[in-house]
Amino acid sequence: MAEELLAAATTTQATTLVFAGDLKQPIVGMSPPLKRELFEFFSTLLGAGLSVGVVPGNHDVGLVRGLPREVHLHPVGGVRLGTVGVFHGHAWPSNAVLRAPTLVAGHLHPGFRLAPSVEGTGGKSRCWLRVQLPSPVRDRRRRKHGPILARELIVLPALNPLTGTESLNRAAPARYRTFLWKRFVLRGTARAYLLDGTDLGLLRSAGPVPSGSRRGPAGAPGP
């Protein structure tokens, strides 16, 4: 995974890398082998000259014990970097993050379960979500927080395969219960893309299309 990230940083000429949480699979606990792996992982990135930051996710209890001191540990409310606000999605983002034009989050680990075809065997495939958000709105349940001024939300697929992938086109994805889904994704117009750029189409605000529909997964246009 470190090599994959270094290759991406080289291609994009990035100098800063920020993780949107869930760097490990065990929600609680940090075994000595895992601590060594995490330390080596981050040391590889830092050794390449990258500035590295982490916004903790719900899986990251005790993560700090595996981090080199050069890693910037941001608050759970996220961090704003220029025009981009990064947060995980299990804790409400800070007002500074909500004011950023573009939001980037994790937590949902989005994917689609695709039917087998002559090109492949099918199964769960990771995907990105790009959500166009409506005009600024204040969440009535979060009165002490400012309005959501962002106009776009990008939900990242999970990089670590051990943290799992949630099929958004199953009957009742577990992560539908989160505020990130209900108060951000469903408020806007969401579109899903596979990692190779394949456009899966729009997600319906009411959830996945019922079984037997002639339309594609989760409201995507059919072939």
pLDDT digits over 176-199, tens only? 678 899 889 988 999 999 999 999
How many residues are recorded in the chain?
223
Closest CA to 29 of 60, 3, 74: 60
**Strand arrangement, sheet containing 72-73:** 16-19, 51-54, 72-73
Domain ranges of the chain: 16-112+125-188
Q: What pLDDT is recorded for position 75?
A: 95
The dihedral over CA atoms of 207, 211, 216, 217, expressed in degrees to the nearest 10, equals 50
Region 14-24 average pLDDT:
92
Cα–Cα distance, 113 to 132 (Å, whole number): 23
Q: What pLDDT is recorded for position 15?
A: 95
pLDDT digits over 47-106, tens only? 999 999 999 998 888 888 889 999 999 999 999 999 999 999 999 999 999 999 999 999
pLDDT digits over 104-158, tens only? 999 999 998 887 766 655 678 899 999 999 887 666 666 678 888 999 999 999 9
Only one residue has tokens 């009957």, namely 171
